[in-house]
Amino acid sequence: MTKSYSGRNFVALENIDLDLPRGSFASIIGSSGCGKSTLLKIMAGLTPPTSGSVMLAGQPVMGPRVETGMMFQQATLFPWLTAIENVLLPIGIKSGKAAAEQARQRALDLLSLVGLSGFDNAYPSELSGGMAQRTAMCRMLITDPEMLLLDEPFSALDELTRDFMNMELQRICMSRQATALLVTHSISEAVILSDTVYVMAARPGRIVKRLEIDLPRPRTLDMMTQPEFGAYVSEIRNHLDKGAFL
């Protein structure tokens, strides 16, 4: 797949070739401006590729699909809606108020799953940053997406909250056997979460390394102190350094 902008004579992505097995977790890491977020938007059907195609479960992605959920850097919750109303919003938009009300118990179950029992009627201003992102995660999951696309969803959080959210994300993906693709600038985050890490270089954006992460699941934060973890981090950093000059 390639993405270019003829008006600017600019190639954003060139010869991208990814295969994400069902139930796997992959990460894309690279410098700012290498096209990571553009790739995610193309995979979500939000913008078309110039050439090539995106396939999901054997069908071409021609626009946003109900099977795909996306999470952004900010929670982007509507401040005038409660937590549960924000979670139910995608169902309300797609199927109407009655369908959203029927899914209320499922929304409560999701909030409980991420540790937000009792906060269903709280407004975004009453939630911490981590709680708001957990609510946004529930909103992504309410439609049972088969594919999760994650654009640096925890980058604005402090380190302790980010670690907690990464472990929550792993737990949810494992319990639901979801397929996930994470865009991140954090090497350690990519290694602790992923089965496969793709390293990107810029101008044009392209994949320069595909690295399999052979660490047992479930992953734990203690693994970050192990020599194997450090070896993966060093290898990815070396490829990122090389990619900056390719």
Binned average pLDDT, 10 residues per bin, the chain of 246 residues: 81 92 94 88 92 91 86 88 94 87 92 90 93 90 89 84 87 88 94 96 90 95 95 93 60
Please tell me the predicted confidence (pLDDT) of residue 246. 46
Identify the DSSP state of 146: S
What is the set of domains in the chain, with CATH numbers?
1-67+146-246 (3.40.50.300), 77-144 (no CATH)
Q: Where do we find the tokens 């350094």?
A: 241
Please tell me the predicted confidence (pLDDT) of residue 245. 45
CA atoms of 239 and 244, how far apart (whole Å):
9
CA atoms of 205 and 33, how far apart (whole Å):
8
Please tell me the predicted confidence (pLDDT) of residue 156. 78
> Cβ of 79: how many Cβ atoms within 10 Å?
8
Please tell me the predicted confidence (pLDDT) of residue 244. 52
Please tell me the predicted confidence (pLDDT) of residue 43. 93
Please tell me the predicted confidence (pLDDT) of residue 237. 93
Please tell me the predicted confidence (pLDDT) of residue 243. 60
Q: CB within 8 A of 175, min separation 6: which ones?
A: none
CA atoms of 222 and 144, how far apart (whole Å):
31
What pTM was computed for the model?
0.87
CA atoms of 8 and 66, how far apart (whole Å):
32
Phi, psi (rounded to 5 degrees) for 232 = -65, -45
- Give DSSP secondary structure letters for 89-118: HHHHHHH-HHHHHHTHHHHHHHHHHTT-TT
